[in-house]
Chains A and B, each alone.
Chain A
Amino acid sequence: MNDLHDAAPDPASDRPTDDALWASIGETLRTVVLPALVEGRADAWARVQTVQLIALAEMARTRGADPAPRRRHELAVTLASIAGNPLLGDHRPGDEHAAAAAALAAAVGRTDPDAEQVRATLRPVLVAQLDDELSVSSPLIEAFRGRLPR
């Protein structure tokens, strides 16, 4: 679905692009709906929810392809690099997160080389992936505070 979503629009298409649709939703909420929810007279909850919808629409428009397959592959490669580590159980393709979770949990409280290898190898990849996702989602925090996205 995301591949389709991200495919370049066919110039011959009569359909509005997803980009234009999301932009329309965000702009209309921002310029028409929100000003109509006059502060002090409207339900504060309605205002907060509208601000959050604006942020979600902007995120939907700009976030790009779902990185989950790339990240899973990245984790699979990382796990393969420590394949002989006894803390890493056998796992099948698709079980990378469960395998990484089990290995990291098993390493807690241990200072031996196997545990150190699990931590030193897996943590940087997983933290980098978390930071990568935060860079996409963090604008939502402002909206959660009730502040309009820029």
Chain B
Amino acid sequence: MTVVLAEPLAEWLHAELGLASPIAVARIGTGHSRAMFVATAADGRRVVVRVEQGGVFGTSGAEECRVMRALHAAGAPVAAILQEEKTGAILGNPFFVMEFVGGDSFVDGAPFVDGAPLVDGGGDERSVDSETAASFVCELHRLHCLDGAAFGFAMVPADPSEATPLQIERWLAVSRSAAEAPIPLLEEAAAWLVHHAPPLARLAVVHGDAGPGNFVHVGGRVVAVTDWEFAHLGDPAEDWGFCLAMRGARTMSRAEWLALFAEHAEFTMDDEGWRYWEAFNLFKGACANRTCLRLFEDGRNRAPNMAVIGTALHQVFLRRLVEIVHA
């Protein structure tokens, strides 16, 4: 964090949370939708600050915060929210503060844009052993079994069957809001995804960016799931598909993941299903990534990663999506 922003943040943390000065602020991870900082007070107390980045990926920090609070209250492995700054007056963007949860793999902070094997994030933060991976699958399954209606989501489908089409509509709207003209191949993919959307009997809490790198683990046990900005109500298959094809692809083999899903979540799906959810997640990524170019162009976020994500990464996702849709 630049000195310009670190000082007002430290003052705010002191005033709002009573953190003892001086407070050291250091960026963690290389996240894009939110910048993440660890603030360490003079007495050693640590908190994590999660700062919006001008609307990257079209997600809302306010909703993320609301959902995290509700999930934490329900006993889900989610860091406690300590405070929220909604105005953007302190750092130029809204942010919230949560408890620091230490672990072997804290938070890589990198949302799904670099989760795909298409775009190797380069780090080894997603390296987990089989015991930890099993614990993650158990926790994700537990999350999927929660009653999702009560968790403060902005979008609540009237019927489970509407959930997936609603998400497709949502992400298409995000893409359209970020582009001067419709992107024909993306629009075709949206129609294809709606046409092939599998039936859904029960709404579940879906993390939306699930997999290695987005949880904290200690001694083979997942103690916190992180990065909730894509959480929504929908089909658990989206999370399993995301983990299999994207975040988890470099961690373990496909066969190993499938065995864990079957053993710990009793979740199985045919090849057509896995292909559908890979397409869905690529579509979501392509739409979300496109927002970065708009932010880069209009000056809300001039960071170079915005230009890279909004162009090259958007195109890589779209290209792979087209391969599935046109197959």
Contacts and interface: CB of A to CB of B under 8 A. Distances in A.
Contacts of A122: 184
Interface string B267-311: 000000000000000000000000000000000000111011101
A1 interface: no
Contact of A130 (B114, B192, B195, B322): B322
Contacts of A127: 185, 322, 326
A59 B165 CA distance: 38
Contacts of B114: 144
B312 A52 contact: no
B99 to A, nearest CB: 23
A98 B187 CA distance: 9
Contacts of B186: 101
Most B C-beta atoms less than 10 A away, residue of A123, A137, A138 = A137
B181 A98 contact: yes
B121 A145 contact: yes
Contact of A104 (B30, B121, B185, B309): B185
Contacts of A76: none
B185 A137 contact: no
A113 B37 CA distance: 56
B147 interface: no
Contacts of B262: none
Contacts of B48: none
A107 B187 CA distance: 11
B122 A101 contact: no
A104 B195 CA distance: 13
Contacts of B326: 123, 127
B205 interface: no
Range, interface on chain A: 35 or more
A72 to B, nearest CB: 9
Contact of A140 (B121, B312, B322): B312
Contacts of A130: 185, 315, 318-319, 322
The main secondary structure of chain B at its interface with chain A is helix
Interface in B161-214: 181-188, 190-192, 195
A5 B4 CA distance: 35
B188 A108 contact: yes
B181 A97 contact: yes
Nearest to A96: B181
Given A49-B303, A133-B315, A134-B312, A44 B30 contact: yes
Given A49-B304, A146-B122, A137 B311 contact: yes
Nearest to A144: B308
B309 to A, nearest CB: 7
A97 B322 CA distance: 17
Given A138-B312, A141-B312, A108 B192 contact: yes
Interface in A47-67: 48-49, 52-53, 55-56
B13 interface: no
B120 interface: yes
B316 interface: yes
A45 B30 contact: yes
Q: Which of A45, A55, A108, A144 has the most CB of B within 10 A?
A: A144
Instruction: Give the residue among B182, B190, B316, B318 with the most A Cβ atoms within 10 A.
Output: B182
B190 A105 contact: yes
Q: Which 4 A-B pairs have the closest CB atoms?
A: A101-B187, A104-B188, A52-B304, A105-B191
Interface of A: 43-45, 48-49, 52-53, 55-56, 95, 97-98, 100-102, 104-109, 122-123, 126-127, 130-131, 133-134, 137-138, 140-141, 143-147
Given A104-B184, A106-B191, A140-B307, 13 more contacts: A97-B183, A100-B184, A104-B191, A107-B188, A108-B192, A126-B185, A130-B315, A130-B322, A134-B312, A137-B312, A144-B305, A144-B313, A145-B122
8 contacts: A48-B30, A52-B304, A100-B184, A127-B326, A134-B312, A141-B313, A144-B309, A145-B122
